[in-house]
Amino acid sequence: MKAITPIIIGIMLLLSILVSSICATSKGEGFAIYLTREDTPPEKMEMFSHVDIADQPIVSIQDIITYNAQTHEIKLTDEAFERIANLEVPVRGKSLLICVDGAPIYWGAFWTPISSISFDGVIIWKPLSSQEPKVITIGLGYPTSSFFEGEDPRNNPTVLHSLEQAGKLINKLSITSMDKLPRSFKGYELYSWEEESQWHFALITGTDRTKTIEEITSNEDFISETGWVKIHVVGADAIKDVLSRLPDGESVFWCDELHIGQSTETDLQLPPEQIADAIEEYAKQCGLDFVVTVHSC
């Protein structure tokens, strides 16, 4: 039996290290977003029991700055965001796979906002290259969530655990973590009411729909970096801090009856004149288009 030379031993050791490294990379890849290897269109995804993923992810865990578990917004590095913004997405969508360690967990599609074709699955809207912040959102249905069918897969524990292990997961955004709140196409609505001798305030993204009193007075905050915002605070100083985080020139409408529907036990009302005037003056100092209306909204 011939002796194994040091060169052969070295080659065998190198191969062993390479194989171990490849396996470890696949096993420890964590959360990633992949395209399909054969560019399978979304309408054909459910026809196949198995779809191969592309060789490399379109978004890797290294591309992610944060993943918001409440909104499913993914803040990306500039390079990764540009990669998604420059992706060619047909009007029928481009299939994607949400994976952990290279194994598909659920599927969806990148979708372009110029499409007139509806979709009932998980989507990621193709962003504009100039968009700020650099955030993509794993959403439901196109053009709105009302088109979505089935169970929401986004809270899959394997996915969230992988993001948490990588230090990327945040449960939700707080107002103290925001330098600036997003701009709103219809401005913001401000509500106030007195409860246990304290003045409460709610700042909510402006809409045309009727809001419920429960929605307005709920203690649960929701802050999206690209969409819906609802913030509840107590005290004049607290609402001033919130207003200071709105973009310059943003419109705010403060009214005691705006879009609340039927009357309830909780009376929406403005605080005493001294407090209301101080808040209005501060808002205007912040460069806001601040409008106060009483009993006529």
Interval 144-181: pLDDT, tens: 999 999 999 999 999 999 999 999 999 999 998 888 99
pLDDT > 90: what percent of the chain?
Answer: 75
Give the pLDDT score at 62: 97
Q: 147 near 119, Cβ under 8 Å?
A: yes
Give the pLDDT score at 295: 57
pLDDT surpassing 60 at residue 260:
no
Give the pLDDT score at 17: 31
Picking from 60-74, 79-93, 101-115, 201-215, which range would have the lowest pLDDT averaged per residue?
A: 201-215
Q: Is the dihedral of CA 45, 50, 56, 62 positive or negative?
A: positive
39-49 pLDDT per residue, tens = 999 999 988 77
Average of per-residue pLDDT values in the chain: 88
- Looking at the DSSP bridge assignments, the partners of residue 50 are none
pLDDT surpassing 60 at residue 26:
no
pLDDT surpassing 50 at residue 250:
yes
pLDDT band at 203 (very low <50, low <70, confident <90, very high): very high
Claim: this prediction has a pTM higher than 0.85: no
pLDDT band at 21 (very low <50, low <70, confident <90, very high): very low
pLDDT surpassing 60 at residue 206:
yes
